[in-house]
Structure 1
Amino acid sequence: MVRAGRASLHPGWIDGPARPGFDLLVARYEAGPSLDERDGHAEIAIPGRKVRGFARLFREHPELLTNYDFIALLDDDLRASQRDLERLFGFGERYGLDLFQPSLSWTSYFSYAACLSNTHYRLRYTNMVEMMCPVFRAAHLARVLPLFDLSFETGIDLLWCRLTDGPELRYAIVDDVVVAHTRPVGSTKLRQGFGEDETYDRQIALLLDMFGIRFRGIVTYAAIDTMDRRTRSRLKIALRSLVLWRAWAVTPMPTRHFVRFLSDYLRHCLWRPLNLDRVDLGRGSEAGRRLAAFQVSAGEHPQP
């Protein structure tokens, strides 16, 4: 699924010689040229914000959660091929993942250096999958959908890996599938419904405060190498992540941002806690009470 604007790159996702091994649902927040109708492709109009648009989509079409094993919610500025996406879905089944994402090319704009493709690995297990390109096991998406109704357009990705017991080895960045993020992060905020003075950092701070939690950064704590061997040595992963400094030569990111983001990631590999303790959204829990209070104040019905 994609929340698509006028310049969406999603036509390139189904440009292969044969019918894709996945269906594509385009939920437009802006008018734009439509693709020819074909099997496995549909378009609907849902104006407004990205995340709230996805929430509306699943309220109006709950059958999506039972008709598919995996559901990807992709940004419209990702450059990927049909083959890339077909292979990506296969990783979820092969490695028993609940939530995962492709890695980013070194020429991509990014928020977290952990997401840059590491050529030493097939995939890396992580404590966070970012909002740009998550792929959910349908059952896990059903579990996290209450977060989509919170009126936050960013930050819910800091929670959706923390809603289950036994989360280790369930979330990953797939280095073997590489896509390109083509626009600077935040460049379409106004078109997606943000106010002029709204910032990502402000929304994230409000969300973390609402649930009384902290986010200490992305940690990749285990990995599968290109020979399909698993390691849980965070030192080894950090050392093999030094290869990412080579991306400095081709990154579109400002130098100060690239250096800071990559330095932070390498430190997190070594020393940061996983921060995967469960946040219980049940109505009897503290987080659940905060969630219900927020929904009531926003004029919504609490989730059961």
Structure 2
Amino acid sequence: MARFLIRRLGLMVVILLLVSVIIFSLVHITPGDPAQMMLGQEATPEALEALREKLGLNLPLYEQYFRWLSGVVQGDLGVSLKDNTPVASILLQKLPVTIQLTVLAFIIALVIAIPAGIISATRKGTAWDYLGTTFALSGVSIPPFFLGIILIFIFAITLGWLPPSGYVAPWVDFKQSIILMIMPAIAIGIRLSAEVTRMLRASMLEVLDADYIRTAYSKGLLGKSVIIGHALRNALIPVVTVGGLQLATFFGGAVITETIFAIPGLGRLVIDAILTRDFPVVQGAVMLMAVIVVIINFLIDILYTIIDPRIKLSGGRS
């Protein structure tokens, strides 16, 4: 256990260092002068040079990188070039919004996918199976942003059941917050539910043909207990992998969806920061997303051993 944790933590550090280099390099090779954008086109060369020196923009890139990385390690992500607000405080304001959207979308996906995958696998070749397969293929094929536009047209414009966009914090008005999150959560969650449905069906079909399942039936166990207690648990390993990876991408993949539904989360923050060339915010937000993805992948490995005790943390099987 200790060796596994040390090895994984070391790997996480290496991955995050590589990500930090990529993020910093991509942000700084994009055209545009942050000092010019902050002071405007009428700024004098002296004022621009003074601001560049204050922000460290006149230093070589490798010095700027180590200066930024040193701050990141200490929890200092710099300040926004737009309004001089600490980047860390901006991210702390936006992160709960994205977490709320992600959690709600994940719940919707599992509520749809687990029953659909089980029914499709246990009724192979029936109309239920074809319906589940059609849903899985359709859900994977439709981009979340396009589905979001369709949902707005149907439920907001045509039927008037839901507000088209906006955000209210749950501690301000919990009911209205959930109502505003329904459509964006569905738009994101449908894709995950489709992928999990397809993966769970394939995994369940493989497990249902195993000898221990036939043995369980021969002992007189009820079909429901065999499917839920034996087949489903052993079929969850690939499902957890897909679900965990998709959950991780939700934090960075909801950029367009958050923009469409006017949700002030991390995705929309990154878009606005890119458009205004506010690179400290871009660097901080993308770095935060990378940390979240790495942590989720680490938790997935731990979850494997809970689902299947035969899996050792060292990577082998007992």
Asked if these proteins are the same fold (TM beyond 0.5), I'd say no
TM-score (norm 2): 0.24
- Please identify which structure carries the higher strand content: 1
Higher RCO (CA 8 Å, separation ≥ 6 residues):
2
- Please identify which structure carries the higher helix content: 2
